[in-house]
């Protein structure tokens, strides 16, 4: 048992059972999986990525590269969870990863023996012959072996929320610097958000035996947190990682709400926050560095600060005998803490000039050159200052290689940190993120006093308030002599997670991958889930030594969000599945549902596709019946999705005349005209009907799909292009329900104002706008009533229609009707079609797109009709039109819309065909290369029913 | 006489101290003064309904009517209005059926799941035109909550989004 | 990115729709104004519409490399 009898910030009065790889363990509230396993004497926690070497925990925080576990069962399983972050809860089931059949005995560890052949970039140089082996054998094999954890591949049952927060000051990190900043701002009444990725706030104070304000640092931290939580203007957010800094003072944050609770919790599992802060303080601390020496990756070898956290926060002494390997003064602190816990210590200090230490065996100028103990550290080989070597028995090795300020957030907008020779570290650049300032260890000021002071002062200055009084704390200077790697035989690890060694960096250097960005990609160093937090600087130092350029010139790779892994589910929030986008429902939606409609999504709209009658089993049966019904009796369909844009003012006519290709100025009040609008590049933007209600009042109906773009276009022209015109544009699309009533018997229900005429009429006691337009080619009209009456209007019309042998129809039938009449949609005007292609004349007046539409190149394939005349009867939308042999050079056009016409008894289509207008009566072949179907077609005028429109003018 | 089919179903929704309910809309008119007519329109409205058109961001009410600025040169006016008095001076478009209106009390935390404006910093009477995730809405701070104006066709989706956010907030509080 | 609409205040860029180079507004519909753009890496005058807000068209001077917004006004004014 490695649990110390006293101390720690755990609740010894309660126990929590959990399991790891099927073995039961006991933890206390306050334990992580890593601390609980260490307490139970478990050192082996994982297998490395490439070589499957046995690994133990290296750190006590989110930068952990080795102890990655899977937590949860079934669909709840989450791989690559860091055991140092995962809080233990009752019944937690954790599994190790990347090993088979077991953690203790992993067959793929054989890869470690092959390591000379598996260096950086080995896959660029192998698997070249025989060529076919790559696809058939190697790639599938490597794919199966690659990766760390496995996902369940089942739908994620958890729910996630997204939310916004606004504050005056965002404090990133709740260590001594962050707590003082939050206290200063919070007591002054500012809106503060204090976020820390840990579940226990206090930062390093929880992992050291340091006093603050005359009491234990951890106790001081707890007191401050209690006060902050009592302030209504302060939002304290534990378990919340600030994931990224973005423009405009916006920060992303991931709050792990329920990852420490059993799966049955109803709470959203995580919340992704977007925090908008006037000011932000980066107080996220620093990450300690390991030292590179042969076999420095065994279970039991960890960072010195991590060991001190396990001692002080979790009351765990992972081994009895320790070697402490340091290049700075923290080796002594570590040795003292170990001795107090009853351990034996050998202090190996790389600095020859280190002040002598008498409390334990002290070896200045010495190095660690090797280790033994595959499944867990057993012994350490030392090389003394005089060159002698000796083996020392040890179950634990603590590395103190110096500290890397956590610069990440400050570099998310493209800045690179700067090297400070005096502390051997990269620090943030001022103003790299506007409004963000780094303090404390994150800024290279490592003493507790410096952190407390900077936190209070920077917060005070940003907000123009008084800093709170500073409690007393240690102010020891950092005494580091840079030492990055031991020169000795054997592999020395730099990136533990991606299994990258010093040899790999040397290889990258030899192969001229010398810039750190090239080195990163060539060796994969820094590309794992920990993003090289404990690896990057050591590798840069090795490369700087090889190139001779020094650290400042070598620099770092680019930092990008997120700071630590974020689940995709959290970024999606509630917008998943049916809630991915909103639905728009027509006023007659409930009515259609009550009448057995089938539904189609058109953009955001829900529209009835057809209304199934008794006995109908295929969509064609319903569609054919509905088409016949409209052509022979009367059909009712809701068209409320159309845009309805009102244009008012004395210049409304002039405005429309410039917008449309079609002349609009002389349109008489009470009349309707069909028109076409072009883009500035001369292609058709949309078609629309325009009704003139009065001298200075127009209503435009753009197509459903384009109405948003058309509205923006009109607003642009009114505000910017022609600000001198007196016109107001109002989008009244939502105000009106609109229902189309068409068929030879339509007049028996309602006598409309006449074809292409408009009138205000009272219908069933309600004032309606009635438009004499037809999209089906049958006589009738579209009736617009205020939306509240839409459903009732449908009911009123349907009752009368039924008595005449008519009924409701949906957009499938509507589409057939309009193709029969040659009326176009965006299937025809797909953005590449000009008005010349439609056979429309160019008027004399000015209009948007006039100049560009005059270009010869805009005369493309022309609108035609097509019908099958050979043995093959099928026409397929999108099929290509060719003459003779099918080849890419021989394509003359394509089919834009193809439907079965029950009126004619065969398929018909509209299409765009080179020189189409001159080829009526000729033949062309339709070829659908995807299905292999081809059919001979006759080219016809683009209208199949009532070409002279006699029905409409009846 | 045709029946009035309401805007919302399934309301009110009450969860803990949070309540989401429908607010009945009076007549709603979009007023857009023509060039050079702003003063005349303002006078006419003052006479007609005792209302002075507010600047952007503010909801203003008189005994008979209320209004807010919707867009450059355009206001939404709530309450019975004699549009004849504005003839030739302004576009006056009936928009009484174009919207649904909701009232959310005790639900600022839930609304902050969906809306990016700083709700805490909105004094009573302030109006923000913004998005409810992906639905264009107008938010009016009332002092004891918020009222939301949204396009009619989005009514069901908007209520679904808000109700889900309310449930999320309640579920989140269970963890404390 | 946040854009400060002169009517509505600072909002997330998601509320806006981007059109492009501000020269489009002054364009006469000729080839150059329809197709040719300077595309600078640096200060750029461009048009955005506050579609999820007040629907005003805005002229924004923005640094295309750093996203820093240098000036905003209602377009055309």
Q: What pLDDT digit, counting tens, does each position of A199-217 carry?
A: 999 999 999 999 999 999 9
Decide if C10 and A248 are in contact by the 8 Å CB cutoff. yes
Average pLDDT, chain A: 95
Q: What pLDDT digit, counting tens, does each position of A532-541 carry?
A: 999 999 999 9
Q: By mean pLDDT, which of A19-28, A144-153, A886-895 is the weakest?
A: A144-153
Among the three residues A554, A569, A603, which one is the final residue of a domain in this structure?
Answer: A554
Chain B interface includes A191 (CB < 8 A): yes
Residue A608 lies in a domain: yes
Residue A103 lies in a domain: yes
Residue A929: is its pLDDT beyond 90? no
Looking at per-residue pLDDT, the higher value among A253 and A139 belongs to A253
Q: What pLDDT digit, counting tens, does each position of B58-101 carry?
A: 999 988 899 999 999 999 999 999 999 999 999 999 999 999 99
Q: If 0-12 CB within 10 Å is exposed, 13-18 middle and 19+ buried, where does residue A476 land?
A: middle
Domains and CATH numbers, chain B: 13-24+98-173 (3.30.1360.120), 28-94 (3.30.70.1520)
Beta bridge partners of A924: A937
Q: What pLDDT digit, counting tens, does each position of A567-615 carry?
A: 999 999 999 988 999 999 999 999 999 999 999 999 999 999 999 999 9
Average pLDDT estimate for A8-31: 97
Same domain? For A728 and A739 the reply is no
Strands A367-372, B28-33: pairing kind: unpaired
Rg value, chain C, Cα: 12
Rounded Cα gap, residues A647 and A652, in angstroms: 6
Q: If 0-12 CB within 10 Å is exposed, 13-18 middle and 19+ buried, where does residue A377 land?
A: buried
Q: How confident is the model at residue A434 (pLDDT cuts 50, 70, 90)?
A: very high
Angle at C14 between CA C13 and CA C19, to 5 degrees: 75
Q: What is the pLDDT of residue A954?
A: 64
The CATH homologous superfamily for domain C2-74 is Folate-binding superfamily (3.30.2270.10)
From chain C, pick out residues whose CB is under 8 angstroms from the CB of B71.
Answer: 54-56
DSSP output for B72-109: TTEEEEES---GGGGTTTEEEEE-TTSEEEEEEES-HH
Average pLDDT estimate for A340-363: 95
Decide if B56 and C11 are in contact by the 8 Å CB cutoff. no
Decide if A787 and B94 are in contact by the 8 Å CB cutoff. no
Dmax over CA atoms of chain B, in Å, equals: 61
CA distance B147 to chain A (A): 19
% chain B with pLDDT above 90: 93
Rg value, chain B, Cα: 17
Among the three residues A355, A370, A401, which one is the final residue of a domain in this structure?
Answer: A401
User: Measuring CA to CA, how many Å separate A819 from each of A200, A661, A673, A823?
Assistant: 68, 23, 20, 6
Residue with the two structure tokens 């560009």: A852
Residue A947 lies in a domain: no
DSSP output for A737-767: EEEEEESTTGGGT---S-TTBEEEEEETTEE
Same domain? For A810 and A890 the reply is no
Chain B interface includes A165 (CB < 8 A): yes
Q: What pLDDT digit, counting tens, does each position of A628-676 carry?
A: 999 999 999 999 999 999 999 999 999 999 999 999 999 999 999 999 9
Give this complex's ipTM.
0.98
Same domain? For A301 and A280 the reply is no
Q: CA nearest C51 in A: which residue?
A: A712
Decide if A732 and B98 are in contact by the 8 Å CB cutoff. yes
Chain B interface includes A736 (CB < 8 A): yes
Asked if A816 contacts A900 with a C-beta cutoff of 8 angstroms, the reply is yes
Residue A846 lies in a domain: no
Same domain? For A268 and A413 the reply is yes
Q: What pLDDT digit, counting tens, does each position of A534-579 carry?
A: 999 999 999 999 999 999 999 999 999 999 999 999 999 999 988 9
3-state DSSP call for residue A934? strand
Q: What is the pLDDT of residue A803?
A: 98
**CATH code for the domain of A501:** 1.10.10
Residue A568 lies in a domain: no
Q: What pLDDT digit, counting tens, does each position of A497-517 carry?
A: 999 999 999 999 999 999 999
Count of the separate structural domains present in chain A: 7
In chain C, which among 40-59 make CB contacts under 8 A with chain B? 51-56
What φ, ψ does residue B56 adopt, rounded to 5°? Answer: -55, 135
Could you check whether the bond before residue B36 is cis, i.e. omega within 30 degrees of 0?
no
Identify the CA nearest to B155 among candidates B110, B100, B107, B104.
B100
**CATH code for the domain of A865:** 2.40.30.110
Asked if A45 contacts A106 with a C-beta cutoff of 8 angstroms, the reply is no
Residue A841 lies in a domain: no
CA distance B62 to chain A (A): 25
CA distance B1 to chain C (A): 37
Q: What is the pLDDT of residue A128?
A: 81
Structural domain of A505: 491-554
Same domain? For A531 and A541 the reply is yes
Angle at A104 between CA A99 and CA A109, to 5 degrees: 50
Rounded Cα gap, residues A369 and A390, in angstroms: 10
Same domain? For A550 and A600 the reply is no
**CATH code for the domain of A311:** 3.50.50.60
CA distance A539 to chain C (A): 30
Residue A893 Ramachandran class (φ > 0 left, ψ -120 to 50 alpha, else beta): left
Residue C28: is its pLDDT beyond 90? no
Same domain? For A72 and A138 the reply is yes
Average pLDDT estimate for A11-28: 97
Interface partners of A (3+ CB pairs, < 8 Å)?
B, C
Residue with the two structure tokens 């390093």: A204
Same domain? For A650 and A631 the reply is no
Chain B interface includes C73 (CB < 8 A): no
Tokens of A819: 């193709």
From chain A, pick out residues whose CB is under 8 angstroms from the CB of B116.
Answer: 164, 274, 276
Per-domain boundaries in chain C: 2-74
Q: How confident is the model at residue A116 (pLDDT cuts 50, 70, 90)?
A: confident
DSSP output for A587-654: TTHHHHHHTTEEEEEETTEEEEEEEPPTT--SHHHHHHHHHHHHHHS-EEEE-TTS--EEEESTTHHH
Asked if A43 contacts A121 with a C-beta cutoff of 8 angstroms, the reply is no
Same domain? For A295 and A385 the reply is yes
* Closest Cβ opposite residue C52 in set B56, B69, B130: B130
From chain A, pick out residues whose CB is under 8 angstroms from the CB of B30.
Answer: 730, 732
From chain C, pick out residues whose CB is under 8 angstroms from the CB of B56.
Answer: 7-8, 54
Residue B154 Ramachandran class (φ > 0 left, ψ -120 to 50 alpha, else beta): alpha
Which pairs with CB-CB distance under 8 Å and at least 24 residues apart come from A801-806? A801/A633, A801/A634, A801/A635, A801/A636, A801/A741, A801/A749, A804/A633, A804/A634, A804/A745, A804/A748, A804/A749, A805/A629, A805/A632, A805/A633, A805/A634, A805/A745, A806/A629, A806/A630, A806/A633, A806/A634, A806/A635, A806/A636, A806/A743, A806/A745
Q: Which residues contact C67 (CB under 8 A, 6 or more apart)?
A: A247, C1
């Amino acid at each position: 048992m490695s649990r110390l009898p006293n101390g720690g910030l755990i609740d010894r009065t309660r126990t929590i059972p959990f399991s790891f790889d099927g073995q039961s363990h006991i933890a206390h509230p306050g334990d992580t999986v890593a601390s609980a396993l260490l307490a139970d004497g478990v050192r082996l926690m994982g297998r490395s990525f490439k070589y499957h070497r046995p690994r133990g925990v290296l750190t006590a925080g989110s930068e952990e590269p080795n102890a990655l576990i899977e937590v949860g069962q079934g669909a709840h399983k989450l791989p690559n969870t860091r055991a140092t972050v995962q809080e233990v809860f009752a019944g937690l089931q954790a599994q190790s990863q990347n090993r088979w059949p077991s953690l203790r005995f992993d067959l793929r560890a054989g890869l470690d023996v092959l390591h000379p052949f598996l260096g950086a970039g080995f896959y660029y140089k192998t698997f070249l012959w025989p060529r076919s082996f790559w696809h058939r054998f190697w790639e599938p094999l490597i794919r199966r072996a690659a990766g760390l954890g496995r996902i369940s591949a089942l739908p994620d049952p958890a729910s996630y929320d997204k939310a916004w927060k606004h504050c005056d000051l965002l404090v990133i990190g709740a260590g001594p610097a962050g707590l003082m900043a939050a206290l200063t701002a919070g007591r002054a009444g500012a809106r503060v958000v204090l976020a820390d990725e840990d579940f226990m706030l206090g930062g390093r104070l929880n992992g050291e035996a340091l006093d603050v304000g005359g009491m234990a640092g951890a106790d001081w931290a707890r007191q401050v947190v209690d006060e902050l939580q009592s302030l209504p203007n302060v939002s304290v957010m534990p378990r919340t990682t600030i994931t990224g800094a973005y423009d405009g003072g916006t920060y992303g944050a991931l709050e792990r709400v329920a990852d420490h609770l059993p799966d049955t919790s109803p709470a959203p599992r995580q919340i992704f926050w977007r925090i908008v802060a006037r000011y932000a303080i980066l107080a996220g601390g620093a990450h300690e560095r390991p030292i590179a020496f042969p076999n420095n990756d065994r279970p039991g070898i960890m960072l010195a600060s991590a060991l001190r956290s396990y001692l002080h926060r979790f009351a765990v002494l992972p081994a009895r005998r320790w070697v402490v390997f340091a290049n700075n003064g923290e080796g002594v602190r570590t040795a003292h803490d170990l001795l107090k816990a009853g351990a034996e210590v050998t202090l190996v200090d790389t600095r020859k000039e280190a002040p002598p230490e008498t409390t334990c065996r002290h070896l200045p100028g010495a190095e660690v050159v090797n280790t033994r103990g595959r499944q867990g550290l057993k012994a350490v080989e030392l090389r003394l200052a005089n060159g002698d070597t000796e083996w020392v028995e040890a179950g634990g090795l603590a590395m103190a290689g110096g500290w890397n300020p956590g610069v990440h957030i400050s570099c998310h907008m493209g800045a690179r940190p700067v090297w400070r020779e005096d502390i051997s570290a990269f620090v943030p650049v001022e103003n790299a993120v506007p409004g963000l300032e780094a303090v404390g260890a994150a800024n290279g000021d490592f003493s507790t006093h410096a952190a407390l002071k900077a936190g209070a002062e920077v917060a005070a200055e940003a907000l123009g308030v008084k800093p709170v009084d500073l409690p007393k704390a240690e102010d020891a200077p950092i005494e580091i002599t840079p030492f990055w790697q031991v020169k000795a035989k054997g592999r020395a690890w730099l990136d533990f997670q991606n299994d990258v060694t010093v040899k790999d960096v040397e290889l990258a250097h030899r192969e001229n991958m010398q810039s750190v960005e090239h080195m990163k990609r060539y060796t994969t160093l820094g590309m794992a889930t920990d993003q090289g937090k404990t690896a990057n600087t050591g590798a840069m130092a090795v490369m700087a030594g090889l190139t001779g350029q020094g650290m400042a010139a070598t620099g770092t790779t680019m930092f990008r969000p997120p700071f630590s892994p974020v689940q995709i589910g959290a970024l999606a929030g509630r917008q998943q599945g049916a809630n991915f986008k909103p639905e728009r429902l027509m006023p007659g939606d409930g009515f259609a549902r009550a009448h057995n409609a089938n539904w189609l999504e058109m953009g955001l709209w829900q529209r009835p596709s057809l209304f199934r009658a008794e006995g109908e089993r295929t969509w064609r049966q319903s569609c054919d019946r509905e088409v016949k019904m409209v052509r022979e009796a009367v059909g009712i369909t809701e068209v409320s999705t159309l845009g309805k844009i009102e244009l008012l003012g004395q210049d409304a006519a002039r405005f429309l005349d410039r917008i449309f290709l079609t002349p609009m100025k002389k349109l008489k009040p009470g009349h309707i005209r069909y028109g076409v609008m072009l883009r500035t590049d001369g292609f058709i933007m949309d078609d629309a009907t325009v009704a003139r209600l009065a001298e200075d009042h127009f209503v435009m109906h753009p197509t459903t799909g384009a109405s948003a773009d058309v509205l923006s276009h009109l607003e642009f022209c009114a505000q910017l292009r022609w600000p001198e015109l007196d016109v107001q544009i109002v989008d009244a699309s939502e105000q009106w329900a609109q229902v189309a009533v068409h068929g030879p018997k339509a007049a028996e229900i309602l006598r409309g104002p006449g074809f292409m005429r408009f009138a205000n009429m009272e219908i069933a006691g309600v004032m309606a706008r009635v438009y004499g337009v037809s999209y089906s080619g049958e006589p009738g009209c579209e009736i617009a009533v205020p939306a509240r009456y839409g459903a009732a209007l449908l009911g009123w019309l349907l009752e009368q229609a039924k008595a005449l042998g008519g009924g409701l129809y949906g957009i499938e039938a509507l589409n057939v009707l309009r193709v029969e009449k040659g009326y176009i949609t965006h299937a025809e005007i797909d953005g590449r079609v000009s008005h010349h292609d439609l056979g429309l004349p160019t008027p004399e007046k000015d209009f948007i797109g006039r100049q560009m539409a005059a270009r010869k190149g805009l005369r493309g394939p022309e609108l035609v009709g097509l019908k099958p005349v050979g043995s093959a009867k099928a026409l397929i939308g999108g099929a290509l039109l060719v003459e003779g042999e099918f080849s890419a050079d021989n394509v003359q056009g394509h089919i834009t819309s193809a439907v079965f016409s029950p009126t004619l008894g065969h398929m018909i289509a509209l299409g765009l065909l080179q020189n189409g207008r001159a080829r009526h009566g000729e033949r062309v072949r339709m070829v659908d290369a995807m299905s292999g179907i081809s059919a001979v077609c006759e080219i016809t005028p683009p209208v199949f029913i009532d070409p002279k429109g006699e029905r409409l003018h009846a | 006489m045709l029946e009035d089919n309401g805007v919302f179903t399934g309301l009110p929704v009450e969860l803990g101290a949070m309540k989401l309910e429908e607010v009945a809309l009076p007549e709603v008119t979009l007023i857009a003064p023509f060039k050079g007519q702003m003063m005349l329109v303002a006078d006419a409205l003052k006479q007609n309904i005792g209302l002075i058109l507010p600047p952007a961001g503010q909801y203003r009410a008189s005994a008979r009517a209320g209004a807010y600025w919707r867009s450059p040169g355009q206001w939404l006016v709530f309450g019975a209005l004699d549009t004849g008095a504005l003839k030739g001076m302004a576009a006056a478009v009936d928009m009484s059926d174009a919207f649904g209106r909701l009232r959310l009390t005790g639900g600022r935390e839930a609304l902050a799941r969906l809306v990016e404006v700083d709700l805490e910093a909105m004094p009573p009477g302030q109006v923000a035109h913004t998005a409810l995730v992906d639905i264009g809405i107008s938010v009016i701070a009332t002092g004891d909550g918020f009222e939301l104006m949204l396009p009619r066709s989005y009514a069901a989706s908007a209520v679904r989004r808000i109700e889900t956010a309310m449930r999320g907030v309640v579920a989140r509080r269970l963890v404390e | 990115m946040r854009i400060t609409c002169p009517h509505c205040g600072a909002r997330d860029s998601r509320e806006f729709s981007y059109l492009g180079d501000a020269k489009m507004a002054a364009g006469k519909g000729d080839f150059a104004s329809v197709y040719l753009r300077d595309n600078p890496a640096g200060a750029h005058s461009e048009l955005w519409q506050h579609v999820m807000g007040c629907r005003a068209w805005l002229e924004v001077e923005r640094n295309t490399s750093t996203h820093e917004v240098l000036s905003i006004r209602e377009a055309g004014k």
